[in-house]
Structure 1
Amino acid sequence: HFTAEGIPLTPYPDATPTTEDPYQQALLVVKDVNGTEIGTSTPVLPVSTELRCVNSGCHSSEQAILNAHEREQGFDPNDTPILCASCHASPALGTPGNPEAGYFSRRIHDQHDFLDQTMPGIDGCYRCHPGVHARCLRGTMGTDFGLECQDCHGNMQNVARTIEQGRVPWVQEPACRTCHTERYGEPVGQLYRNSTGHGGVMCSGCHNSPHAIYPSGEARDNANVVALQGTAGTLSDCTVCHGVVPGGPGPHNTTTSVEDEVFGATAGRLTVSPNPMVQNATIRIPAGNGGEGRLIAFDANGRTVAAFKPRELGDGSLGVVWDGQGRGGRQAEPGMYFLRWENGTRSAAGKVLITH
């Protein structure tokens, strides 16, 4: 991978200087020592100004925010501009802040946790995170599986409380392995965006960035992978990198089967009826305490086929009625599928055979 730092960028292109364009593309050209072009890339550079407390309709003015702030020693609301992270530590900006002031992420989510009730779901997040126009959660998990920010990060209160309990924001974040099994997850304690696999290839090289996982709902995100293999989606054509389809293990290869991983890490068992499934099946979760959590269906290769938010069924139990449809409304092929449910405190697993 490569890194380019210090390049000034705004969301306003020269051609439309008054209209925000949050997903501009760069052109990277690689040449050899003789100046011969040997490769190009067109990565998306996400940039937005949608984190605006006043324009979001929440605050009357920036000065009003400063005036309402606690009058800490040495703090003058008229001495502007004031960088919030100069007092409130932000690992994203590399500022240590004042330990007594607390992390910026903790303070913001704690002071705005009323949005969990007044504006729950992704619309509340988009009041600050880009945004109503940018809609930064644009990858397949959001556009094809209907996941929202809360499915991975929890609600506003959870974000704040976990920081209070010792989590470092921006450094300790949700992990792929939580849902996709260890086989498809990053090492414990390491962020997806810093992780590698299959000979040292960055995970994002095949799957893209965390909030724009292939296939992204933003066409420009998909441009590189489409240029390489002809279709959007995970980079899966071996010949793109190898020139041929090599023998031996491929990406994510382990000696553990998907069934072992799904069942070995769970304490309970899901009830599936009817099984085999012809038209649909009811998947029931064992009784117990805890929230609704999430239920994920994997194919025999460990790939996510469908994701659900369980609901109360007619008999009072918690579960899902699955008609065999997966991502994008596509019908799952006949075969064995593995099911795993988690809610943060409990887990359960099962499997279903689709015969139609």
Structure 2
Amino acid sequence: MIRRLRTLAPCLGLIGLLLAGAPATGAPYKVLGWNDLGMHCMDSDYSVFSILPPFNNLHAQVVDAGRNKLVTSGVTVTFEATPDLNGSLNTHSSDKTNFWKYALPLYGADLPADMGLGGWRTASLTPQTMGYQSTSSMFEAVGIPITPWDDQKKKNSYPMVKVVARDASGQSLAEGHVVLPVSDEMTCIACHASGSQEAARPPVHGWVNDARGPEMDYRRNILALHDDQHLSASKYKKALKTAGYDKAGLLATADGGHPILCAACHSSNALPGTGQTGITPLTTAEHTLHAKVINPNTGLPLDSEKDRGACYMCHPGSETKCLRGVMGNATLPDGTAAIQCQSCHSTMSKVGSAKRTGWLQQPTCQACHHDGLRDLTAVNKKGQVKQPADTRFATNPNVPSAGFNLYRFSKGHGGLQCEACHGATHAEYTSSHDADNVQSIETQGHVGTIAECTSCHTNLATTATGGPHGLHTIGQAWVNKHGDYAEKNRQACAYCHGADFRGSPLAVTRAARDIRAEDKQVHYQVAQEVTCYDCHNGPGGELKRRTALR
């Protein structure tokens, strides 16, 4: 598989634009593309109610490796559908979902086929030019209405697009291959299908037993149950009127041909501008209510569950496997997952807390990555996100807005977005899904966090602290010059190389490499921890006489 991935190497073109901030003559380029969430969700049916539309986001940055800077002008960046590693191709969406039939009553938009709510068409064989966002120095296409079904009507939650950077004459400078993950696996069928389980709560008038199939059935059961619980309240009647729904209730509205948008009453930051004053936000209502629900698979309340199975009852996971990044795939010595959804987000009741702002109040990188450590939980015993003083691996404060700081909006080294090098949320390099890793292999020649200096720098200066997160230059040049710095700054070295200088997970090699220390040679395997004892008899010790093992 790795051999197949390597065949997708990016094109490095030569151009001659002499504009300020534009590509320089003779310089190689890299285009780094990513999806922002790691998994975008959409409804599998829109005729009864909707939580989320098909709405995927694509971001990209272009690096001029010759001038060691981001390209901010003089280029256009486009995206288009392309086959994935298995040949699956997704070039249209409108015949794979009934979203376009109900987009007007649900979202107030009478959309042409394959056009999304953000003004972008779904990825096709015709390139679409991405917009440029100056505040983040990135190109973006927000709201691509791609679906998890390819052109052969086969399920594929990881369709791939090709992102191409071109100069003013249309000459290709660089390209990358990016997954636009999308899932319609959101489901409430385990508890709301007619006759689903003894502990489930049927509507007052009984299960609807919709003969049209399970999708219509559980969705109508939910609306009936919602009406049972609230229809007698004046607040509910007012909300129905404000939303333009039938005064007889949500089920009557949907059965009359007008599907329900959940966010029409319950606000969601995933759909800005939605909701009604005085009505609980959607994430609060859903997580608080369902925290008490008994998981039919375990017999425990969902709030008591400590693994991702509880979240996968509703969120995409059991089939889609959306939690697939390096953290989600980490295991303990007994083979069980080291990090669960709850490790970062806490329990369901905490996620649903009225004090929490959905979609914006999320765990941060520094909650686990601090003081040279890698914690396995981002929250304390109270379920609150930890706030260490160490900001070396921290998200940017006050992004996207005051009081909030999110990984997917943060940037670092040279203005690169964090996700450009580390991968999308929930799909951080290295992902268990091969297509996610294509971008990193194209960029640096091997899988993993993009950490090879020469990937984006052809004129590489040796620096002790100028790299990402204050990292020194990686490679032979640093080895040749690190002695004086290491002698004077041992504690700085200890942050990554360990308090005893015998290595730590922060000092692993991302690829096999050979290093020479004067006339001695040391061979490192992939993921081997680099220590002071590899070449020396400890920090400040004499060089060892050691040769590579082949």
Please say if 1:195 is aligned against 2:410.
yes
Displacement of 1:331:
7.4
Q: Where does residue 149 of structure 2 map in the other structure?
A: 12
The residue type paired with residue 430 of structure 2 is P
The residue type paired with residue 147 of structure 1 is I
Aligned residues of 1:193 and 1:204 also touching (Cα < 8 A)? yes
The residue type paired with residue 178 of structure 2 is P
The residue type paired with residue 105 of structure 1 is T
Displacement of 1:246:
2.3
**RMSD (Å), alpha carbons:** 3.0
Runs of at least 4 residues of structure 1 off by over 2 A? 5-8, 56-60, 114-119, 244-248, 254-261, 297-303, 329-336
Please say if 1:186 is aligned against 2:395.
yes
Q: Where does residue 450 of structure 2 map in the other structure?
A: 235
Please say if 1:62 is aligned against 2:62.
no
Please say if 1:206 is aligned against 2:343.
no
Q: Where does residue 82 of structure 1 map in the other structure?
A: 260
The residue type paired with residue 252 of structure 1 is H
> In the aligned structure 2, how far is the partner of 1:300 from the partner of 1:38?
33
> In the aligned structure 2, how far is the partner of 1:300 from the partner of 1:193?
22
The residue type paired with residue 263 of structure 2 is A
> In the aligned structure 1, how far is the partner of 2:493 from the partner of 2:180?
36
Aligned residues of 2:162 and 2:176 also touching (Cα < 8 A)? yes
Aligned residues of 1:23 and 1:47 also touching (Cα < 8 A)? yes
Displacement of 1:242:
1.1
The residue type paired with residue 89 of structure 1 is S
Please say if 1:251 is aligned against 2:468.
yes
> In the aligned structure 2, how far is the partner of 1:227 from the partner of 1:330?
19
The residue type paired with residue 100 of structure 1 is G
Compare CA radii of gyration and give the structure with the larger one.
Answer: 2
Aligned residues of 2:176 and 2:442 also touching (Cα < 8 A)? no
Aligned residues of 2:437 and 2:447 also touching (Cα < 8 A)? yes
User: Aligned to 2:237, which of 73, 85, 96?
Assistant: 73
Bigger drift between 123-132 and 204-213 goes to 123-132
Q: Where does residue 518 of structure 2 map in the other structure?
A: none
Higher relative contact order structure (alpha carbons within 8 Å, sequence separation ≥ 6): 2
Please say if 1:97 is aligned against 2:271.
no
> What secondary structure, in the 3-state scheme, does the structure 2 residue paired with 1:111 have?
helix
User: After the TM superposition, which residues 44-193 of structure 1 pair with which residues of structure 2 at under 5 Å, given as runs?
Assistant: 44-54=179-189, 56=190, 58-60=192-194, 61-69=218-226, 70-71=230-231, 72-74=236-238, 75=240, 76-77=249-250, 78-80=252-254, 81-114=259-292, 117-118=300-301, 120=305, 121-145=307-331, 146-161=338-353, 164-165=354-355, 167-181=356-370, 182-188=391-397, 189-193=404-408
Displacement of 1:330:
6.9
Q: Where does residue 437 of structure 2 map in the other structure?
A: 222
Q: Please, what TM-score do these two structures have when normalized by structure 1?
A: 0.69
Structure 2 vs 1, CA of residues 6 and 299 (structure 1 numbering), >3 Å: closer, same or farther? closer
> In the aligned structure 2, how far is the partner of 1:4 from the partner of 1:233?
25
Displacement of 1:7:
2.9
Displacement of 1:245:
3.0
1:280-333 deviation digits (Å, cap 9, x = unpaired): xxxxxxxxxxxxxxxxx9556599xxxxxxxxxxxxxxxxxxxxxxxxx97756
Aligned residues of 2:395 and 2:407 also touching (Cα < 8 A)? yes
Structure 2 vs 1, CA of residues 102 and 32 (structure 1 numbering), >3 Å: closer, same or farther? same
Displacement of 1:123:
0.8
Q: Which runs of 5+ in 2 are unaligned?
A: 1-137, 195-217, 241-248, 332-337, 371-390, 398-403, 472-488, 510-525, 534-550
Percent identity between matched residues is 33
> In the aligned structure 1, how far is the partner of 2:457 from the partner of 2:530?
29
Q: Where does residue 62 of structure 2 map in the other structure?
A: none
Q: Which runs of 5+ in 1 are unaligned?
A: 262-274, 279-296, 304-328, 337-356
> What secondary structure, in the 3-state scheme, does the structure 2 residue paired with 1:66 have?
helix
> In the aligned structure 2, how far is the partner of 1:59 from the partner of 1:67?
12
> In the aligned structure 1, how far is the partner of 2:166 from the partner of 2:494?
46
User: After the TM superposition, which residues 260-339 of structure 1 pair with which residues of structure 2 at under 5 Å, given as runs?
Assistant: 298-299=504-505
Structure 2 vs 1, CA of residues 41 and 223 (structure 1 numbering), >3 Å: closer, same or farther? same
